[in-house]
């Protein structure tokens, strides 16, 4: 092979290697840059979610304090529990029948029912306390307000959805 051909081949090889090296470096730098940008965005999202969760938990803490500090809450829980227990083993089915199945209002609007129409202890307690509890839930923008007795029975629900009169421990 002639010297001129060898020089041309050497220069071409050197040029190709230089281009490949530049390409590898560019891809590497670009990849790191994209990774860093993605990581920064993920951290920003994480920080935002953390702040949102912290705000939510602070609101829950404040709202819980409102219920706990209200002297009526204990009385309401005792009275609803008494009315629940009065119905015996069939409390769940009876209360769901009365406040859900027989409720003329549709789901999402059941909280409008104040007086269920029977003369049970539970119905009287509900007629007495429900307007106050419903107003508290609306004012605080709560989706629902549940009172749960020490045994895990959901003895009161503002919205009267499927969790009403169930047990949070046993289902």
Per-residue pLDDT, 29: 85
State what percent of residues in the chain have pLDDT above 90.
Answer: 59
Which of 122, 130, 139, 121 lies closest to 158, judged by CA?
Answer: 130
Residue 5: its pLDDT value, please?
81
> Contact at 8 Å (CB) between 76 and 133?
yes
Residue with tokens 């789901």: 107
Q: What is the pLDDT of residue 40?
A: 94
Flag whether pLDDT at 101 surpasses 90: yes
Pairing, β 146-148 against β 154-157: antiparallel
Burial per residue of 38-69, b for 16 or more beta-carbon CB atoms within 10 angstroms, e otherwise: eeeeeeeeeeeeeeeeeeeeeeeeeeeeebee
User: What percentage of the chain has pLDDT greater than the value 70?
Assistant: 99
How would residue 18 be classed by pLDDT, with cut points 50, 70 and 90?
confident
Confidence class of residue 8 from pLDDT cuts 50, 70 and 90? confident
Residue 168's pLDDT is 95
Which pLDDT band holds residue 93 (cuts at 50, 70, 90)? very high
């Amino acid at each position: 092979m002639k010297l001129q051909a060898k020089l041309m081949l050497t220069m071409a090889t050197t040029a190709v290697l230089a281009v490949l090296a530049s390409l590898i470096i560019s891809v590497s730098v670009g990849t790191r840059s994209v990774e860093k940008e993605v990581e920064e965005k993920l951290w920003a999202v994480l920080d935002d979610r953390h702040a949102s969760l912290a705000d939510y938990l602070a609101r829950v803490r404040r709202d819980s304090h409102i219920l706990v500090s209200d002297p009526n809450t204990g009385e309401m829980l005792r009275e609803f529990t008494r009315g629940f227990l009065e119905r015996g083993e069939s409390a769940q089915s009876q209360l769901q029948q009365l406040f859900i199945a027989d409720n003329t209002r549709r789901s999402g609007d059941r909280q409008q029912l104040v007086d269920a129409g029977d003369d049970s202890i539970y119905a009287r307690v509900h007629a007495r306390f429900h307007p106050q509890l419903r107003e508290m839930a609306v004012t605080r923008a709560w989706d629902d307000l549940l009172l749960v007795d020490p045994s895990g029975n959901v003895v009161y629900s503002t919205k009267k959805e499927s969790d009403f009169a169930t047990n949070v421990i046993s289902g």
